[in-house]
Chains A and B, each alone.
Chain A
Amino acid sequence: MATVLTQDAAGAAIGDGAAEALVVNGVSHRFGEKQVLDNVSVTVDRGAFTVLLGLNGAGKSTLFALITRLYDNVSGEIRILGHDVRRKPTAALQRLGVVFQSRTLDSDLTLEQNLFYHAALHGIRKSEAKKRAVEALTTVGLQDRAHEKVRNLSGGQARRVEIARSLLHRPGLLLLDEATVGLDIGSRESVLSIVRGLVHREGMGVLWATHLIDEIAPTDRVVVLHKGRILYSGSVPGLLDATGKTNVREAFRTMTGTNDTAEAA
């Protein structure tokens, strides 16, 4: 049976200058009779890479939908760099970059046109968007392909464009939902390395949702989400200490009470 080992005490900072990039405090969500999230609290510090680890169906995408205000959080609170998502959605969403699980680029348009569209969605004028598109594509190493159509890209390259797109409005918090699913090993490493670079260079807070345990580095913070509940939140060594295991895979299995290793690869 799954047990809660530790849980984040959500920070109380409100408004500008909050220490945390993201605070999710006591959030629950239901679809009809089905409880999808139960009193979930997560904190992502600025300049920290936080892994949201959970099997398929754990509630990761629902949590992302609440943070991005695709769904409304009726209980608890969600703050992005101090701005309440429900009360100040504009200020909160301006500081948020998202890479969704499903591909969201227009394959008929070029990389540059996709980025211009996203820049416009954030109210950025064309002249400024051009400058930022070059910067963002350079960050992900695709500056030479700006005028190609997205349909000519590989899966890994398309993911890199989505990351570039999420950076255009210079967010302080980046959410990535299963960003490496379906990619080969080389592309996965490339995507991970780009995002980790952003954390170190830019001081961005990153919440990386995954079910792939080998994507976790020893220095990351880990949040284990299982069947809509947070089972653990803290450092990797803390997770190993708490479960008495020597690796994250075993610790995760013990914590969630799952023997099926096929899903958590």
Chain B
Amino acid sequence: MNVDTPMRSFEAEAPHRQGLGAYMACFRGIVWREVLRFLYQRERFFSALVRPLVWLFIFAAGFRQVLGVSIIPPYTTYVLYETFITPGLIGMILLFNAMQSSLSMVYDRETGAMRTLLVAPFPRSFLLLSKLIGGVAVAVLQAYTFLAVAYFWDITPPWQGYITVLPALILSGLMLGALALLMSSLIRQLENFAGVMNFVIFPMFFASSALYPLWRIREGSPFLYELARFNPFTHAVELIRFALYGEVGAKIDPTMTPVEAGISLDGVLIPLASGELLDLTHLVVVVGCTLLFLGAAVYAYNPSKGLIGRRGGPGGGNAG
């Protein structure tokens, strides 16, 4: 050791534990970066918006005469097909944003940028959750921009729906983001991401209630119906659909069977003072899947338990 060197007391520079203020600073910084990057990448903003708008303006306009939608909760009257698929298109925004975020995490892992996040002196679960919330903040901005444009296309939910949909957007965004986080830990290389499009995004979107109500899917294909009702994306879309009308789930007459009532699973039903049953299935599935996916992602990124260190990532095993 060079004894002539003037030593700084490095121990005095940092406490042994991070306080609440430090956690808040870290969380704000991670979310701020995600939003800032999104705002700087204008092409990403417009392409994220154009996709659902094309579906709304072209696909829905073409199919409105073909596909009739009966009166199903939360709608109290017949609605145009454009109105019906709006929650599905919001779900599409959240789904594609989550997968875009997963893609950028795989890219960051290959380029090394993910390392700067993972070597920060905070629990890895906290860092990943903060990054996830940053991605959700971006997705929520996109969803509201879409709703603003859709308003001029006569998609006009009750005004309070714009507020009550926010928790549903956040929850659904967290679930899809956690799934994307998990997938980013499993995908070895960026090239494999095309498989994600084919095997995750498209099946999740099309085998759901985003484009057609479940009863109509059941009439067309009982097998597809089974897939759709166990698809977490279906429940995210339905949660958003009900939240846009200020509700958590369908209110069901207790004398009806689940199928008659139009609920997708046998349900998490709670009795109301009115004698009806409130179906909380969508909320429970979305929260449950979020916890499951997030837990698995944290496990996969945990250096002592997960998969990353065993196979040479993050960084793709560029051992030098």
Contacts and interface: CB of A to CB of B under 8 A. Distances in A.
Q: Do A and B make up one complex? A: yes
Nearest to B114: A104
Chain A contact surface mostly: loop
Contacts of B112: 100-104
Interface stretch (B36-44, B90-98, B177-185): B36-44
A90 B121 contact: yes
Contact of B319 (A32, A61, A83, A88): A61
Contacts, number: 185
A120 B26 contact: yes
Contacts of A19: 1
Contacts of B303: 69-72
A47 B1 contact: yes
Given A70-B309, A88-B16, A100 B115 contact: yes
Contacts of A145: none
A234 interface: no
Interface in A49-72: 54, 56-62, 65, 68-72
Interface string A104-124: 111011000100111111111
Given A19-B1, A113-B36, A57 B320 contact: yes
Interface residues of B, number: 55
B308 to A, nearest CB: 8
B115 A91 contact: no
B259 interface: no
A57 B320 CA distance: 4
A48 B2 contact: yes
Given A106-B33, A116-B29, A203-B6, A96 B318 contact: no
B281 to A, nearest CB: 39
15 contacts: A19-B1, A46-B5, A47-B1, A59-B319, A69-B119, A74-B304, A89-B121, A91-B16, A95-B13, A101-B112, A104-B116, A106-B37, A117-B32, A200-B5, A204-B8
Interface of B: 1-2, 5-8, 10-11, 13-19, 21-23, 25-26, 28-30, 32-33, 36-37, 40-41, 111-113, 115-123, 127, 303-304, 308-312, 314-315, 317-320
Q: Which 3 A-B pairs have the closest CB atoms?
A: A120-B29, A123-B22, A172-B10
